Amino acid sequence: MSKYLSPRFDSLDAYTPGEQPRDQKYIKLNTNECPYPPSSKVIEAIDKEKNLLNLYPDPTAKCLKTAIADNLGLNADNIFVANGSDEVLALSFMAFCDKDTGVAYPDISYGFYSVYADLFTLDSKVIPLKDDFSVCPNDYFNLGRTIFIANPNAPTGLCLSLYDIENILINNKNNIVVIDEAYVDFGGESTVKLLDRYENLLVVRTFSKSRNLAGGRVGFALGSKELIADLELMKFSFNPYNINRLSLVSATEAMKDTVYFDDCVSKIKDTRTFLVNELEGLGFNVIPSCANFIFAKKDGISGEELYLKLKNNGILIRHFNKDRISDYIRITIGTKDEIISLIDTIKTIIDEVK
Ligand SMILES: *Cc1c(COP(=O)(O)O)cnc(C)c1O
């Protein structure tokens, strides 16, 4: 670090992304991407659009907002779009938190919440999940803070009921509750249907997990038109052209191609059921997942050992060296063939350890 870095960042601990190897050597089950390529309609749209890269993209992202609005039965002014849901989250921290209004989030959840809290020098209340890793709704009542909850949660895959979320909303009338629905398409119920009743609800979604576009970097938020206007104010004060032309047309076409989307999501859910059954058969304890990953552990072999041995065998999964979850591994649902290879490799590893 240089001597010029502002001292307020002295103890800033940046987010650690999962490994992104450039070669094709690994079966990649570590960062919850979709294992299938983008829809052919996306590829065609990119092909046309690339000749226009000399021109700035549409800063209002009208086409994309309209496609999302049509898909969800909302209006375009209920929709905010940004460069990945990470940017949506960052702009939400900017807009809805300050030195008087800190943040609250679970101790085991998406790693970026604590990073953004530190980046924006906010006071954080970190609320432990229950022993079974579930969120206790009452812990979030009337905290006077902006609340961030991933539903389904990561890396556990567990989800909260709409009833529980509604209670959190009712008991935080003066604060924003951000529900991060990165994985909602794989299970769980969306809070979108609560939007017209709760003006303090902001729903955050992404094209990275269920819409085959992690590399395109597009995320979005859904909320009242006033909340969306607040986020637009942040964006136009920070980076008005935050989504590039190729990503704009990609996300627009991905949202319209509901047939391809349904097909990919349903294959992933089927493969998830297959993986859970296989792992349970091998004596793993698997947490019920509403997401495109599973979180599991096995007595007698540590999460780290499994991670390292799988990596030596060309399979990348995720292990978090963190209190309460270091025994666990997180496995992204890949294609059926990838998951069959994974199971075979895990069987060999377990036999060796015995
Ligand atoms: C992956 C993920 C994100 C970030 O998604 P991008 O749109 O790729 O930035 C946000 N929240 C959760 C819970 C995630 O798992």
Whether 74 and 160 map to the same domain: the answer is: yes
The alpha carbon of 281 and the centre of ligand 1 are apart by a number of angstroms equal to: 31
The answer as to whether 301 is a domain residue is yes
Q: DSSP state, 215?
A: G
Residue 316 has a pLDDT of: 97
Residue 5 lies in a domain: no
* Residue 115 and residue 182 in one domain: yes
Q: Is residue 2 part of a domain?
A: no
Indicate whether residue 180 lines ligand 1 (CB < 6 A): yes
What distance, in Å, lies between the first and last C-alpha atoms of the chain?
46
Residue 116 CB less than 6 A away from ligand 1: no
- The DSSP-derived string for 295-316 is EEEBTTB-HHHHHHHHHHTTEE
Domain span at 99: 40-256
State the Cα–Cα distance between residues 244 and 248, nearest whole angstrom: 6
Q: Are residues 44 and 23 in the same domain?
A: no
89 and 132 share one domain: yes
Residues 27 and 126 in one domain: no
What pLDDT sits at residue 124? 97
Computed on alpha carbons and rounded to an integer, the radius of gyration of the chain in Å comes to 20
Helix (H, G, I), strand (E, B) or coil at 287: strand
Residue 230 lies in a domain: yes
**Do 19 and 64 fall within a single domain?**
no
Q: What is the pTM of this model?
A: 0.97
Q: Of the residues 256, 290, 324, which one is the last residue of a structural domain?
A: 256
Does 295 fall in a domain? yes
Predicted pLDDT at 24: 75
How many whole angstroms separate alpha carbon 246 and alpha carbon 46? 6
Instruction: Verify whether ligand 1 is closer than 6 Å to residue 86 (CB atom).
Output: yes
287 CA from centroid of ligand 1 (Å): 20
C-beta of 35 in contact with ligand 1 (< 6 A):
no
Is 302 found in the same domain as 264? yes
> Which of 88, 206, 207 to probe ligand 1 with, by most ligand atoms within 8 A of CB?
206
CATH value at residue 182? 3.40.640.10
Query: How many A from CA of 179 to the centre of ligand 1?
Result: 12
Mean pLDDT of the chain: 97
Atom of ligand 1 nearest to the CA of 208: 8
Pocket test for ligand 1, best of 85, 109, 116 (most atoms within 8 A of CB): 85
Mutate to test the pocket of ligand 1, among 32, 64, 80, 86 (most ligand atoms within 8 A of CB): 86
Torsion of CA 31, 13, 200, 152, to 10 degrees: 30
Low-confidence ranges of the chain (pLDDT < 50): none
Indicate the residue among 220, 238, 256 that finishes a domain: 256
Q: Separation of 47 CA from ligand 1 center, angstroms?
A: 27
- Asked if residue 139 is part of any domain, the answer here is yes
Atom of ligand 1 nearest to the CA of 109: 13
Q: Among 256, 283, 303, which residue terminates a domain? A: 256
pLDDT value of residue 334: 98
Q: Which whole-number Å values give the CA distances from 308 to 194, 301, 315, 316, 329, in the listed order? A: 43, 11, 9, 9, 11
Mutate which of 33, 89, 209 for ligand 1? The one with the most ligand atoms within 8 Å of its CB, which is: 209
| Number of compact structural domains in the chain | 2
Tell me what pLDDT residue 187 has: 95
Residue 25: the pLDDT is 87
Residues 97, 181: one domain?
A: yes
Rounded to the nearest angstrom, the distance between the alpha carbon of 144 and the centre of ligand 1 is: 25
Q: Do both 20 and 119 map to the same domain?
A: no
The predicted-structure confidence for 179-220, as pLDDT tens digits, reads as follows 999 999 999 899 999 999 999 999 999 999 999 999 999 999
Q: Which two tokens stand for residue 120?
A: 């924006």
For residue 345, give the CATH number of its domain: 3.90.1150.10
Report the pLDDT value the prediction gives residue 18, as an integer from 0 to 100.
87
What pLDDT, on a 0 to 100 scale, did the predictor assign at position 353?
80
Displacement of CA 170 from its chain's centroid (Å): 25
Looking at the fold, whether 195 and 278 belong to one and the same domain comes out as: no
Q: Residue 353 corresponds to which amino acid?
A: V
- Residue 6 belongs to a domain: no
Atom of ligand 1 nearest to the CA of 219: 7
58 lies in the same domain as 157: yes
Does some domain include residue 57? yes
Tell which atom from ligand 1 comes closest to the C-alpha of 209: 1
Same-domain pairing of 198 and 106: yes
List the residue whose alpha carbon is closest to atom 5 of ligand 1.
85
Q: What are the angstrom distances between the C-alpha of 330 and each of 88, 214, 241, 253? A: 25, 18, 35, 30
